[in-house]
Amino acid sequence: MTAVELQGKRVLVVGLGASGLSAAEVLVNAGAEVIVNDAREEAALGERATAARALGAELSLGGHDEELFTSVDRIVVSPGVPPLPALAAADAAGVPIASEVELASWFIRGTVIAITGTNGKSTVTTMIGDMCRRTGRPTFVGGNLGEPVTEVVGTDAAGEDGIVVVELSSFQLERVEHFRAHVAVLLNVTEDHLDRYDSFADYVAAKGRIFAGQTREDAAVVPAGDELSLSLARPSAATLHTFGGADGVVRVTGEMLENGTSSLAVPVADLLIRGAHNRDNACAAALAARLVGVAADQVASVLTCFTGLPHRMQHVRRLAGVDYYDDSKATNVGAATAAVDGLGEFEGRVVLLAGGVDKGGSWTPLVERLRDRGRAVIALGEATEIVEGAFDGSGVLLKRARDMDDAVELAARLAEPGDVVLLAPACSSFDMFGSYSERGRAFAQSVGALVAAEGEPS
C-alpha cells in the first residue's frame, strides 16, 4: 500500500476521461478531497461529469485556473492532457504532479510487467496477459491498451499473488516517480508524437522512464542490437535481457523460438501473426512471461494460437487475386514501414493507403521501402499534401482520394493480381475518424462494398 499520504489532502485530477474518472475514484476512496478539472464544459462531458460529482468530487470545468493548480496539495494528470501553463506553474510552485499510472502503482503489491515502445505495444501486452492468465494467478491487463491502470486498485490482481500487465505510452510515463516494473519491456523507439514533444530526444527520454524505478531484483527487456533501446536500459539497476536475434535467428535469452531443442521450442512457422516484427514481438512476450515464472508450455500455447489484434495487419479479403490488409493501428511511419516489411512473403507489390493527421518526423524510411515494393500510394485526409511531398520524385505512383470509399476504389483499380492493398496510414485518425479502429472499420466496409460491386459474396 502507498506510503504517500492522501487522507485529507486536496488532490486535483486533470482530465476527465476514463483515466481521470478512475483516478478520482481511487483518490476519493483513499480519503482525499478531490477536485476534477477539464477544459471542457459539463454539458460536453456528460455522464463523466455526473459520475465525478456522484463520487463526491468537486468540478472545475471550462479551463485551467493557475491559482487552483498552485493551491492544491497534489496533482494527478491523465495521459491525454498536453503540457499546460497551469501545470508549469504548479511545477514552479513545488506541487507534486503524478500520472494516473504513478497513482495506481502506490496501491499495487503484486508483480508488474510494463510494456512500452513506439510500435507493437498492444500486441505484446495482450500476449503476455494471455500467458500470465494461464498460470491461474489473478491477472490484470490494461493501461494504454484499454482499461486505466487505476482500475486494478482493490482487485485481487493488485494483491501479492497478482500480476499486473500494462501497456504504457510515452504520455503515461512522463510523470512517474515511484512506479516500479518488475519486468520492463521496451520494444523499439522510432519517431512519433513529434507534434507533442519539442524533439525526438524528449520523446526518447519519456520512453526511458519505464526503467527509472527498477531495482537489482528486476528485469529490463530490450531488443538485441538496438543501441538506442540498450542505452536507455543500461543505467537501470535491473538485470538486462535481450530478445530478437541476428542472421535470421529469432531467439530469447537462454531459450529458442525456432525449430530446435530447448525449454521453449516453438517453430516460427507455427506462429499465426505475420511479419518479422511480430516474430520479435512474440520473442519479447515469451521472454517477459518466462521471467515471471510462466511455464514454457503455457507460453507456447499462446504463441501458437494468438492471431493478432483488430486493425493490426488484419486480413480483410482476397478479391481478384489481390489481398486487402487493415493496419489502421500503424499511426506512425515506423509502424507503416514495419507493415510493408511484414508483407515479404508476397511476390506482388503494395498499394498503400496513407494519411490522416501527421505526427511529425521523417517519412524517409517508408519512402525507401516503397521504392522497391510499392505500386502506388493513395493519400487521403489532412496530411495529403505531406504524403504527396514525401513521395514526390520517388518513382511511386501518387493518387489523391476524397474519402475512404474513393481510396479503396482507386486501390482496386491500380492493384494487379498478387498485389496487396494495405491501409497503414502512418498518421493518426482524428481528421476524418474518431479513432484508428473506426478508420479500420471504414476500410473494411469500403472493401466489402467493393466486393459486392464485383458481384462476389461479402
Count Cβ neighbours within 10 Å for each residue of 432-445 and write b for 16 or more, e otherwise.
bbeebbebbbbbbe
What pLDDT sits at residue 355?
97
Gyration radius from the chain CA atoms: 23
DSSP strands (E only) in 54-99: 58-61, 74-77, 97-99
Average pLDDT of span 362-386: 96
User: Following DSSP, what letter does each residue of 111-179 receive, concatenated?
Assistant: EEEEEE-SSSHHHHHHHHHHHHHTTTS-EEEEETTSS-GGGGTTSGGGSTT-EEEEE--HHHHTT-SS-
**Closest-CA residue to 345 (of 264, 430, 276):** 276
| pLDDT confidence band for 354 (50 / 70 / 90) | very high
The CATH topology of domain 10-95 is Rossmann fold (3.40.50)
pLDDT digits (tens, 9 = 90+) for 6-31: 999 999 999 999 999 999 999 999 99
Residue 417, C-beta contacts closer than 8 angstroms, at least 6 positions apart: 320, 321, 322, 348
List own/partner pairs for 294-299 with CB under 8 A and 24 or more apart. 294/131, 294/132, 294/134, 294/135, 295/134, 295/135, 296/255, 296/263, 296/264, 298/131, 298/134, 298/135, 299/131, 299/264
Cell numbers describing residue 305: 494460437
pTM value? 0.85
Domain with CATH 3.90.190.20 in the chain: 314-451
pLDDT digits (tens, 9 = 90+) for 212-245: 999 999 999 999 999 999 999 999 999 999 998 7
**Distance between CA atoms of residues 363 and 71, nearest Å:** 44
Residue 267, C-beta contacts closer than 8 angstroms, at least 6 positions apart: 258, 259
pLDDT digits (tens, 9 = 90+) for 370-381: 999 999 999 999
Asked whether the CA dihedral 42, 80, 403, 316 is positive or negative, the reply is negative
What pLDDT sits at residue 173?
95
Average pLDDT of span 184-189: 96
Domain with CATH 3.40.1190.10 in the chain: 107-303
397 bridge partner residues:
376
**Distance between CA atoms of residues 426 and 192, nearest Å:** 10
What pLDDT sits at residue 451?
67
pLDDT digits (tens, 9 = 90+) for 44-88: 999 999 999 999 999 999 999 999 999 999 999 998 898 899 999
pLDDT digits (tens, 9 = 90+) for 398-452: 999 999 999 999 999 999 999 999 999 999 998 999 999 999 999 999 999 986 5
How many other CB atoms are found less than 10 A from the CB of residue 321? 11
Average pLDDT of span 259-286: 82
What pLDDT sits at residue 458?
38
Q: Which residue has the higher pLDDT, 192 or 60?
A: 60
Per-chain mean pLDDT for the chain: 92
Average pLDDT of span 359-384: 94
What pLDDT sits at residue 258?
64
The CATH topology of domain 314-451 is Protein-Tyrosine Phosphatase; Chain A (3.90.190)
DSSP strands (E only) in 39-82: 58-61, 74-77
Could you give the maximum distance between any two Cα atoms of the chain, in Å?
Answer: 68
Percent with pLDDT over 90 in the chain = 79
> What is 107-303's CATH number, 3.40.1190.10, 3.40.720.10, 1.10.10.10, 3.40.30.10?
3.40.1190.10
Residue 50, C-beta contacts closer than 8 angstroms, at least 6 positions apart: none
**Distance between CA atoms of residues 14 and 334, nearest Å:** 31
Please determine, for residue 367, whether its predicted confidence score (pLDDT) is greater than 70: yes
How many other CB atoms are found less than 10 A from the CB of residue 199? 9
H-run or E-run covering 4: none
H-run or E-run covering 281: helix 276-291
* Whether the Cβ atoms of residue 338 and residue 312 lie closer than 8 Å to each other: no
**Distance between CA atoms of residues 102 and 80, nearest Å:** 15
Residue 49, C-beta contacts closer than 8 angstroms, at least 6 positions apart: 16, 42, 59, 61
Asked whether the CA dihedral 309, 423, 428, 206 is positive or negative, the reply is positive
Count Cβ neighbours within 10 Å for each residue of 215-226 and write b for 16 or more, e otherwise.
eeebbbbbbbeb
Please determine, for residue 265, whether its predicted confidence score (pLDDT) is greater than 70: yes
**Distance between CA atoms of residues 150 and 22, nearest Å:** 6
What pLDDT sits at residue 454?
55
pLDDT digits (tens, 9 = 90+) for 296-351: 999 999 999 999 888 888 889 999 999 999 999 999 998 899 899 888 778 899 99
Residue 92, C-beta contacts closer than 8 angstroms, at least 6 positions apart: none
Domain with CATH 3.40.50.720 in the chain: 10-95
* Whether the Cβ atoms of residue 148 and residue 24 lie closer than 8 Å to each other: no
**Distance between CA atoms of residues 354 and 365, nearest Å:** 14
Average pLDDT of span 125-146: 96
Q: How far is CA 168 from CA 141, 353, 407, 450, in A?
A: 11, 28, 33, 38
